[in-house]
Each structure stands twice: as C-alpha cells, then as structure tokens.
Amino acid sequence: MSERIGVLIVDDSAVVRQVLSGRLRESPGIEVIGAVPDPIFAMEHMNKAWPDVVVLDLEMPRMDGLTFLKKIMSVRPTPVVICSTLTQRNADISLEALAAGAVAVIAKPETGLKRFIEDDSADIVSAVRAAAAAGQRRTAKPVPAMAGAALPGRTTTAPAAPIRPATTQDRLVAIGTSTGGTQALEKVLPALLPSGTGVVVVQHMPEKFTAAFAARLDTMCRVRVSEAQDGDPVVPGHVLVAPGGRHLEVVRPDNHYRVRVFDGPPVNRHRPSVDVLFRSVAKVAGPAALGVIMTGMGDDGARGLLEMHKAGAYTVAQDEATCVVHGMPREAVALGAVDRESPLLQIAEVINQHG
C-alpha cells in the first residue's frame, strides 16, 4: 500500500458519494481515487487504478454489493468497508459480507444521510484506516484486471503454553474484539464445549447488527449464543453478546453472575466498550475470570484487561500473526496486561481449559 490510502467509494446515493468524499479528503493520508454509483462502474475504475480500500454499499443497481465483494475477493483480496442502511435485512446481508471478507460495517440511516456522514465522519475515517491497516497484512498478488483466483489462506502454528487455572469455581470468560472480530469469533466460539464456563462478549458492531450476529453464531456453535438482555444470567454453555449501541457489564447481586445492559456515553469512542466489560469482570470475578482480547484497531479493552490482570485473572491476547488488525492486543501487551499471546485457533483451547 502507498503512503496515502487510496479509497474507492461505491454507492448509488449521490449524497453519500459527495459528502463522504469530502470528509475523507479532509483526513490526512487519505485520497479518494474514485466515487461511482455501482459495481459495474467500479470494475471499470479498478481495472485502471486499484484502491487500497473500498467503501461499498449493499443495495445498488446492476449488481448488488455482496456479489461485487465476492468478486473482488476472488480476484484480488482487498479491504472493504460495508456502508449499509440500518435494517434487519441488511444486517443479515452485512454479516454475510463480513464472512466473505469485508473488514468492517458502518450502519447508515435510511434518511438524513448527509447529517449522518457529517456527524459520524470520525467513525467512518477510523473504519477506513482500520481497513487499510488490515490490507497491509494481506499478501495478494497484483493482477491486471478483474479476473483471477483467490490466494490460499495463511496458517499459523505455535506451541501451546501452560494455562494458569482459575482459583475458584465461579469461573467466567470475557472476550473483547473489534475489526476482524466477527470472523475471529466465528472460529473461536464453534470450538467451545457445551459444558464450559459462561462467556460474555463485546464485539464493536452497530445497533441491530448484534442480534443478527448472535443468531448466526448460535447456528454454528454447540454452545448457545444470544444477544444479551439486561439481567440475563451468565451460565455454563451460554455466550452472551453485548447489544450494539449499549454498554454491558457483569454484576453479582447474589451468588450468581448477571449482565447489566445500559445506556451511557461512549468509552474510548465505543458503545459497547470492551473496557467497561473488562473492568466490571475485574471487580466481580477477579482470579476466577479469563480475559481475552482479540483483533481490533485502537486501544479499547487494554486498560480493562490490565485491571483484570491485576485482580488475578488469567489474560490472553490474540497474536499479531493471526490478527486482522493488531491494535487492541498490541496495546494490552504494551501495558503488561497479558499473560499469554495465542494464535487465533488456540484461543478456544485456552477457554475450554479454563472451564
């Protein structure tokens, strides 16, 4: 990737193309190399100049965004940020897009697009930068046009390290992740044992998308997975996913863990915030907890994981080689918050041993 991040916007809304182009051009290091109304025009543009990041709508004329995304990934895997309207149908399609290789999803409203982009431009710019960082980790071969085949995936192996057991029977697992986390969780959670300890997850994701994501995971896993509701118990064999747009913390009003779902200002620019979850677990579970921080941009969760570590919890960070973006785990390691760095495919084993 060049020093400047070359962005191609593919959206049939002229308002989105105009306003988003302006906002991205105002951001240092970002260059909008094109803004086109549909994938057919995008293919013509990409045959002349390939972007570092594609910002892609889902519902467009002539070819839908999901079909175009799969075409891109079969030709030359490229970081794609999905910019999708906030509907249940688009939530399901967006999850398919993430599974197909998209890096992140930005939820846009069906009305008030200009104001939305102006108000939330920082989040959009962050998503583009995260996608660009993810692109630097990919090793796609250049091809002259929209034709070719996808590259084989990379595998990483590392010797397993011993796991410090929890010191009480009241065990709990807290997971925090962001960019690349949907794909990562789809590898970790299906490998969990139904008899294992309760798990609480914060995945940075827009409102309405988390319910669809939890439902998708539930069909893939032996454990039960659901979007958390205020007051839900944390029980063995059940994974609770924090709802988009609301914070989640673990409380212990009696002898059992429950989740508290609540509104509040963003923490580290996120709601839900991984730090909010981790700090609550440090307080109520201490050495009985296992904290896992996985792929994501920024530093949300790093300080909370440090609090878990100081409280006696065992803490794990996804290793750099298997992260889409190593930002969150890297920051946690830098703070001295991490007992062990593990490849993605070993994290489920760590969680199963904790349970």
Active site residues: 178, 204, 300
Look up residue 32 and give its DSSP letter.
Answer: E
Q: Residue 259 forms beta bridges with which residues?
A: 250
What values do phi and psi take at 184, rounded to 5? Answer: -65, -45
The tokens 């201490």 sit on which residue?
A: 286
DSSP per-residue string spanning 224-293? EEEE--TT-B--TTEEEEPPTTSEEEEE-SSSS-EEEEE----BTTBSS-HHHHHHHHHHHTGGGEEEEE
Alpha-carbon dihedral angle through residues 224, 228, 233, 236, given to the nearest 10 degrees: 30
**Other CB atoms within 10 Å distance of the CB of residue 284:** 18
Look up residue 82 and give its DSSP letter.
Answer: E
Give the start-end residues of each E strand in 110-228.
Answer: 172-177, 199-203, 224-227
**Other CB atoms within 10 Å distance of the CB of residue 315:** 23
**Interatomic CA distance for residues 7 and 45, integer angstroms:** 12
Q: Which of 187, 214, 222, 210 is nearest to 318 (CA)?
A: 187
